[in-house]
Amino acid sequence: MIEAVFKPVLSGYPLSELQELLHPLPRFRVKQIFSWISRGVRSFAEMTDLSQSLRADLGERFSLYASEVAARLKDPDGTEKLQISLRDGCLIEAVLLTDGEERRTACLSTQAGCPQGCVFCKTGALPFRRNLDSAEIVEQFLHLRGAAADGDADANTISNIVIMGMGEPMLNLAELRRAVSVFTASEGFGLSGRRITVSTSGIAAGIRDLADNGPRVRLALSLTTADTALREHLMPVTKSNPLPEVKAALQHYQQCEGRRITLEMVLLGGLNTRREDVDALQAFIRGLDAVINLIPWNPVEGMSFAGRPLREPEPGELAAFMAELEQRGIAFTRRYRKGRTIGGACGQLGGMREPYSLTTRDRVSTSTPSPVTSTSFSRRQPPWTGS
């Protein structure tokens, strides 16, 4: 079988590497090319401050893109999801989140599929294909920025990046570093590392590597529960990365970076909203500067645990959990759902679907939580024991 031979793709090259690749072009020319790429040109012919002969030579030797948009969906709340086709036929997804007119966030993927197998995540149920290279990561941002600017010249801005899409970033840290170098270069996108957040399921060695070798970005841990026994069932990564090791890595990161960490908790109805989960969380965050980000589970059809379908927490159940956190002085925020009707919300990436109307249950669940008095907050048997 003859493998396809592709031209090198320039979109993912950091400036220093691009300089080496394009030698002996002078540095100012390379900066011009780097700047054009970050502006989202689709062809070398658009690089109008380069000579025609140079543009022709670049076109013969290199490609600008390694991907193309295969499908595009838009949620009524303004969220957009792109299905992106790679040169080898792999499909990935990226999401554009909007918060009014001033803040747009690109949610990017680092792998095609995911090997982590978290039982509440659609991507974890997909076959793992491979790591993405830096060009395939950078181009998601370019495609999303193009979607943001569609028909509106003033909308061609994305202020933040979250590496929370498909895949585990710490298993592809080398290519992520290259992509972040492109994003933060002053000659190109010029984003601050403080506007880039990397989320991990808990790869302790990767967290330490990030702390020691960069890039200097914000860090989030997908914790879900600090109850070790339950987390091992929900997130198999816990078996090879025990929570004490993960916590030690987080403390090392904070010693190096001095930045607050976000601990993400996907709340599953009847599973991790027990008092025991608050007890375990309180113990886990001791010694950490962290804020808890509560994420009521976004439904994915067919997902179950211990023989029972997964469900989102009831409004009163969620309210009681938040009240317990508040009573104990645990800092938290609640993530409000974006992109649910197109499968673009947290944990839903991996399948394109046309927007659908929210059911009555959906509307209730996305509204203001019910008063705490509507639900008791008691200790319960672990739900995976069958008792």
> Of residues 80, 93, 168, 312, which has the active-site annotation?
93
**Distance, CA of 130 to CA of 4 (rounded, Å):** 17
Q: Is 114 a catalytic residue?
A: no
Report how far apart the first and last C-alpha atoms of the chain are (Å, whole number).
Answer: 55
Our CA dihedral for 136, 145, 96, 80, rounded to 10 degrees, sits at -100
Q: What is the DSSP string of 63-102?
A: BS-SEEEEEEEE-TTS-EEEEEEETTS-EEEEEEEEETTT
Both structure tokens of 378: 């008691």
* Alpha carbon 256 to its chain's center: 23
- For the purposes of burial, counting CB atoms within 10 Å of the CB of 231, is it exposed (0-12), middle (13-18) or buried (19 or more)? buried
Prior bond of 313 cis (ω within 30°): no
Both structure tokens of 288: 């950490």
Cα three-residue angle 295-313-277, rounded to 5 degrees: 75
Percentage helix, strand, coil for the chain under 3-state DSSP, each rounded to 5: 40, 20, 45
Q: Is 90 a catalytic residue?
A: no
Cβ partners under 8 Å of residue 387, min gap 6: 381
What's the one-letter identity of residue 48?
T
**Distance, CA of 192 to CA of 184 (rounded, Å):** 6
Place of tokens 């509560």: 294
> Of residues 107, 118, 121, 346, which has the active-site annotation?
346
Query: Which residues are catalytically annotated?
Result: 93, 346
